[in-house]
Amino acid sequence: MICSRCGVSLTDDLAPGPCGRCLSSPPFQQQTVSLFHYQGPVRDAILGWKLGGDDAAVQWLIETSGSRLKALIQPDDLLLPVPMPISRMRRSGQHHAANLARMMASVVGCQWDWQLLKRIGEQERQSALSGVARRKNLRKSFSLNNDHWDEHWKSSPATGQIWVVDDILTTGATLHFASRSLRALRRPILAFSLARTPTKE
């Protein structure tokens, strides 16, 4: 079972809908969607992309999911990748969430922007932290680039929903705090991940 609001995996005996945490403290995104479980061939494809730089399998996953993506994301929507810390991006030479947003935009026919959502400071890697520590680690990690919004998007025809895009969802902390930083836009905010971990933390 998946929480319809934050997208985190729940125990199967719960009724469909938001989880207890989302009912008591709703996240800023209205919905969270993941295409796949982070396991098996999908996990292999993502690891090959993130660790080895081979994006062919991930590109294939996006292209074969085209009909579902087009049902979710409209041409006037805007995709915003979760920003990486600058030092990590320089070391890897990659911005995986931005590359993912670019692939999705190409399939859907919408626009994307990697500069509107900014990363503040340097944080530990989320994969090394527990669920509570992940939220604390990211609490003040994102902000809206207001000048960029005013210059490029305030009067743009891309007036639909805003999607915050990330590659893997585990606890939902990254998408929660990234979405929270966009609340001043007063636009519908949704969250997307290519894959989510299949078990609840």
- pLDDT of the residue at 11: 58
Task: Provide mean pLDDT across the span 126-147.
Answer: 70
| Segment 54-83, tens digit of pLDDT | 999 999 999 999 999 999 999 999 999 999
Q: What HEC string does 9-32 produce?
A: ECCCCCCCECCHHHHHCCCCCCCE
**Residue 57 confidence (pLDDT):** 97
For the 20-196 domain, the top CATH level (class) is alpha beta
Question: Where in the chain are the domains?
Answer: 20-196
Percent of the chain with pLDDT over 90: 54
Query: Could you tell me how many helices (H) and strands (E) the chain has, helices first?
Result: 9, 7
Handedness of CA 17, 73, 58, 114 (dihedral sign): negative
Give this prediction's pTM: 0.84
